Amino acid sequence: MKHLIAILSSSFLLTSCADMYVTKSTVNTASTGGIVDGKDFGSVSGVHMTTSCGVGAHDPKAIYIRPFCIDNATFIGDQTASDGEMPMRKALTPVSFASTLKEQLEKIAPARILKDDESPRTGWLVEGDFTMVDGGSPLGRFFFGQFGAGRSYLAMHVRVTDVETGVLAYEFDVAGGSRLQGKLGTVRASGLGKATPFDLVNAAERIYLALSPNAFRYGARSSVALQ
């Protein structure tokens, strides 16, 4: 019984963590333009690959970020102190996110945010579209946040183009939010504060992790000698 309680407690903690996840992905390899569709994972026939070796784009010389389009995104929930600020907050969200994403992606290669009239000539171009920005409800999180009430939600579509080859190397959806967070929040969730800034930071970090083969250096050793 104690083991069952421990398992259930661990499961609840995992599901309650505020975070962002890649929900769908497509990979185009530069060699032959073959495609690996994320929807094929777990299917009966396995992963469908039409390339000779399936190696994706990696080690970019530089990364260029174009602020994500937010024109067609649903922008709702607790975002500002008044409804009058909502149009401005929506217009500034891509700028804020581009800056946060730059901080994450420059861990891979030198990163820069493009101006409207600029185009990259080398490296990767990262761009995309916001589809949903929902700040949720602090009141809901105060009373029933641990059950999912008032939770925030952020969803976006991301495109990574290998500029030199012209190949759309990676294309994926990122979505998530505060999830089952209560009024106290965590280091990754706002609690009663504004949730969207936390979600934007979490999304930028998830994009970095998705594009990094081993961001946490698992398996790294100080010595390679085998006993």
C-alpha 18 chain-centroid distance = 12
Please, are residues 67 and 97 in contact by the beta-carbon 8 Å criterion?
yes
Q: Kindly give the confidence (pLDDT) of every residue in the chain, 227 residues in length, as a single tens digit, with 9 standing for 90 and above.
A: 444 444 334 334 434 566 889 999 999 875 444 455 555 444 444 444 445 478 889 999 999 999 999 999 999 988 888 889 999 999 999 999 999 999 999 999 999 999 999 999 999 999 999 999 998 877 767 655 566 667 789 999 999 999 999 999 999 999 998 866 655 555 555 555 678 998 999 999 999 999 998 888 887 777 666 56
Beta strand 124-134 with 74-76 is parallel
pTM > 0.75: yes
Within a 10 A sphere around the Cβ of 170, how many other Cβ atoms? 22
What is the C-alpha separation between 125 and 63, in angstroms, rounded?
A: 6
Domain 19-48+55-210: give its CATH architecture: 3-Layer(aba) Sandwich (3.40)
